[in-house]
A and B are shown apart, each in its own frame.
Chain A
């Protein structure tokens, strides 16, 4: 065996020494020049990836725990066009699975970008089929899809979320913090092939799921109320309408509808103005339903003996204006009960004059007008009520019969709920509480309660409202087997330029409760510009229909009949 020549060994040794010396010098230079940390960071950046772990969004449930909104896992499919080698072949493979046009997909895959969404909120099973194709440049992100199983069921109340899962309207928006939970993240070290490096960095902060909201809405009652409202709007060729069903004892809103509505599963197909929950966010001049506040003030303040007969012509001069009743009539002699039953504007103005402006303003406020109910719905309106100092010569008169003042349908429902509840105002509620991810129920704060009028005054007013339904303007609201108490409203609509009112156009309403002797449900039926015009003709039948639904759905039973109030008009 021959030994290698010493010269070649020496040359190899020198070359090796030089190579290692070069490396050593380079390393020393990098260390000394301070680039080491930067390079280390760059190397780590190439290996370490942080992936967001989305939190499961809580459900929105009805009062019985049925889902009104639910999120299910989904997958976003994206592409990095730089790595897509054959856009047309890839697009042809993807388009049938994703339900997209191949041309559009190919266009996305050929884009000058590093990231494009191909499809969002894809069903996991579909995503698995796409994943199995192992297409270069195509990636996947965990996501979720919000579904509204009932379709257009209380859509303005429930609201909807955007493509990124954030609430955009309704309770979805109002309770975003509670529903959304907290997203987590996972930081992991990957090899060049995208596989986790064993023993490398792997840090996970788990997401915290959102809580579910339990609403006071009764899903079945809501559906039937919506059906009745839609049919009434169609029959009356109205522009729209609102409907509220409330339990006066607890303030819980059992149904709340605004027509026209939309399907939150495809909210983009409907105009944005249909998203508004007008029962809470929009105000209207309540018209004659507001007379109950005037009457309540008169009874409570004993401003007029209940058996005193007022002389009521059909017109009356107030300041520079002449006000009149809804129809021409000879001079009548009416007691307060008759004024309510006949819905006399002139009569109620006379009553209001005896109450006086300060007391009237006080009762309007005590019944909750002029400020939001704080029902917990985003964008709730507080109504429009002039401060007493700004009242004109006609303010007392017009407010007495519900013009020159504006309230939301919910506020007016609350007024009647106060009377039904023996004079106690109970704050309306839309949310009963929240179910945390562990399934523990956390009740919402108890509703605020305040006394507005005495029990005796509320009962007398209830008798008057029952009289109005049995013999007055509200006869179309009668319900077989029950004594119903309620009031019609036919309100003029303020012109858009805020000067005067629209000619011959009205908001027709009927708000009432049953059974009068033991009220269990308050119903507000409001129609925007129905052909029948008046609340007694257009809205009372809608009330009647929904009241029947409530009787069967909620198991309302009749109560002892209340006697008629003092009255001057003949009955029977």
Chain B
């Protein structure tokens, strides 16, 4: 019986060690995950991307153009297909 208790105690101790190791691993992985999320957010920050793009000669388009497929819908948008430069005198 004494031998049985000793064996059981040893097994419990082994399991406790494994649980402790797993806890530490979870903690380490959680920390690593947070660090990676931060890195991802930093690398994908719009300011960083815009700066990189600018250094490589890219720029945002000056204007937008709306194309209308013939026969689709009945919309009559204002100034479609014209330059975006406002006409007429500016207001006060």
C-alpha gap A113/B81 in the complex (Å): 75
Q: Are A147 and B38 in contact (CB under 8 A)?
A: yes
B51-92 contacts to A, CB under 8 A, are: 60-61, 63-66, 74-84, 86-92
Q: Which residues of B are found within 8 Å of A149, using beta-carbon distances?
A: 38, 41-42, 45
Whether B37 sits at the interface, judged by CB under 8 Å, is yes
Secondary structure dominating the interface of A: mixed
Residue pairs across A and B with Cβ atoms less than 8 A apart, 25 shown, are A70-B38, A147-B38, A152-B47, A327-B92, A473-B91, A475-B86, A475-B88, A475-B90, A480-B63, A481-B77, A481-B80, A481-B81, A482-B66, A482-B77, A488-B91, A515-B77, A536-B90, A536-B91, A544-B84, A549-B60, A558-B66, A558-B80, A560-B74, A560-B76, A561-B78
Shortest CB distance B84–A (Å): 4
B44 interfacial contact with A, CB 8 Å: yes
Contact A540 B66 (CB under 8 A): no
Residues A474 and B41 in contact, CB atoms below 8 Å apart:
no
Q: Does A395 contact B (CB under 8 A)?
A: no
| B contact residues, total (Cβ < 8 Å) | 37
Distance in angstroms from B62 CB to nearest chain A CB is 9
Please give the number of chain A residues whose Cβ is less than 8 angstroms from any Cβ of chain B in the complex: 61
At the interface, yes or no: A151 with Cβ under 8 Å from chain B?
yes
Interface set of B (CB-CB < 8 Å, partner A): 31, 34-35, 37-38, 40-42, 44-47, 50, 60-61, 63-66, 74-84, 86-92
The answer to whether B31 touches A124, judged by C-beta atoms less than 8 angstroms apart, is: yes
Q: Is A368 an interface residue (CB 8 A)?
A: no
Q: Which residues of B contact A478 (CB under 8 A)?
A: 78-79, 84, 86-87
**What's the nearest-Cβ distance from chain B to residue A122, in Å?**
14
- Seen from chain A, the residues whose Cβ lies within 8 Å of a Cβ on chain B are 56, 59, 66-68, 70-73, 124, 147, 149-153, 219-220, 222-224, 227, 326-327, 342-343, 466, 468, 470-484, 488, 490, 515, 534-537, 540, 544, 548-549, 551-552, 557-561
Is the CB–CB distance between B38 and A67 below 8 Å? yes
Complex partner residue of B64 from A70, A224, A480, CB under 8 angstroms:
A480
Q: How far apart are A138's CB and chain B's nearest CB, in angstroms?
A: 22
Which one of A56, A484, A536, A557 lies within 8 Å of B92 (CB-CB)?
Answer: A536
Extra inter-chain contacts (12) besides given A480-B84, A482-B78, CB under 8 Å? A59-B37, A150-B46, A150-B47, A474-B91, A478-B87, A479-B64, A482-B77, A534-B92, A548-B63, A548-B84, A551-B64, A552-B64
The 8 closest A-B pairs by CB, nearest first: A473-B91, A481-B66, A536-B91, A149-B41, A480-B84, A558-B77, A223-B46, A67-B41
Neighbour of A73 across the interface among B34, B60, B75, B76, CB < 8 A:
B34
